[in-house]
Structure 1
């Protein structure tokens, strides 16, 4: 599949006034609504413009084609999640491993579930693009944040702290994605809130050279 690179999908211009920002948000919400109602195959700029209540000409000022619309949704969601995890890492600096596992799990779930409609839509359209550069950058940024947390955990004795931070990133991202794609019911999400911190703490305790005991 010929997937466009992100550099070719950027908006034609950025909003500089509150009215323009509101227009872009309406277009984004309309894109998600069309995606969920009709799927990516039937999404068109005309349908999105009608749902958003704007002219096609107005929409083209920001998003020149369908792919740019879809990529805008992906990019915005990634930025929101990164910002949430940066804030969480700042709060958790100096916490023990159990506190880190619990705090990061809660922050990750809160960020993903704050707009679950957008999160689920993204999983369905991410394959449309070459996101390798974006995903690599995000993974490195998150791993760096987590590595700093592990470095300042009072009981931490990691032999390979970068690897532990990377695997923690993978556990958080992979677990939530599987649940949201397979069964995002309230019951399953509640279970994930209980189990994800335990899984993260169990991994960190296992990887830690200090032999931290895992509380039941």
Structure 2
């Protein structure tokens, strides 16, 4: 039995002018709001367009179908995650190794928890649309940012900062997401940040320094 070709996930065009950028931003925000209020199964382009205050035709100018829209929303979310870790490195030049753990965990979790109500849906989107390439790209950016922090640690150089960065990134993108794939209370979020920081800090402190 033929199932046909999968729907295209590439946007039809990218916004270039200010008004177009604002329109696409409104569509993205509306998608998140519909995910939160109606859930992934009930989300469709008509509901999103109505919430964004645009016509369905305008939405289709940028995204050819629902799957392409959801793929773009996930891509933007992953870009924000990686960007938050990169920004943490920029804001913490020559950090002590103990502070690297805190900065990385805080950047990642705060970005995830900022939209915790749609995190389960984003996880399902990643699985259903096979977004491995997007996740791997975000992980590579995150690993590079963490390696840069480890390489400039103010209290001793690590023997293999690249390997350590890969390990921490694997934890962030592999074992940490279950914290965020259910709606966390404020107390739960603070406790998750506390426990992950302890785990990451202990791992870094235990690493031998390079003379």
TM-score higher than 0.5: yes
* 1:76–1:92 distance in 2 versus 1, CA, 3 Å: same
Please give the root-mean-square deviation of Cα atoms over the aligned residues, in Å: 2.6
Map 1:107-146 to 2 at 5 A. 107-146=107-146
1:183 positional shift: 5.1
Rate the CA distance shift 1:4–1:196 in 2: closer, same or farther, 3 A.
farther
Alignment of 1:15-34 (within 5 A): 15-34=15-34
Gap change, CA 1:2 and 1:158, over 3 Å in 2: farther
User: Unaligned 5+ residue runs, structure 1?
Assistant: 212-216
Matches within 5 A, 1:54-133: 54-133=54-133
CA distance in 2, matches of 1:60, 1:99: 45
User: What residue is the counterpart of 1:214 in the other structure?
Assistant: none
* Residue 208 (structure 2) pairs with residue 209 (structure 1): yes
Is the contact between residue 11 and residue 62 of structure 1 (CA under 8 Å) also seen in structure 2?
yes
Question: Do 2:88 and 2:104's aligned partners in 1 also have CA atoms closer than 8 Å?
Answer: yes
- CA deviation string 1:89-125 (max 9, x = no partner): 1222311110111111222222223333454431231
Whether contact under 8 Å (1:100, 1:149) holds in the other structure is yes
Count of residues in Structure 1 that have an aligned counterpart in Structure 2:
208
Separation (CA, whole Å) in 2 of partners of 1:149 and 1:3? 44
Tell me how far 1:157 sits from its aligned partner.
5.2
In 2: Cα distance, 1:124 partner to 1:130 partner: 10
TM score, norm. by length of structure 2: 0.85
Structure 1 distance, partners of 2:187, 2:5, is 36
TM score, norm. by length of structure 1 = 0.83
1:162-197 CA-to-partner distances (Å, cap 9, x unmatched) read 221111112333454211224511111111222221
| 1:63 positional shift | 1.0
Cα deviation, residue 158, structure 1: 3.8
Residue ranges of structure 2 left out of the alignment (5+ in a row): none
